[in-house]
Amino acid sequence: MARINLSIRLGPMVHFEVQGQNCEEIAKALDGFERLNQTVDAMFTDLARRVYPEGGEEAQEKAP
């Protein structure tokens, strides 16, 4: 039977692969993906704010 390989990149430092025999297996493996995406986004947002405290959202809003 054919194998399905799905490669997902969430950002420059987060990458994972999902493998399965059919779409049902892939769907089960991706259960909770939205929560994972939100968690990774929160982690990188926090990291960016710590590294660039003066260059956050406010700086982008003020930029010409």
pLDDT confidence of 56, banded at 50, 70, 90?
Answer: low
The whole model's pTM is what? 0.48
Phi-psi region of 63 (alpha: psi -120 to 50; beta: other; left: phi over 0): beta
Query: Tokens 């405290």 belong to which residue?
Result: 53
Place of tokens 């799905």: 6
- Which residue did the predictor score with more confidence, 40 or 7? 7
Please compute the mean of the pLDDT values over residues 18-43 and round it to a whole number: 86
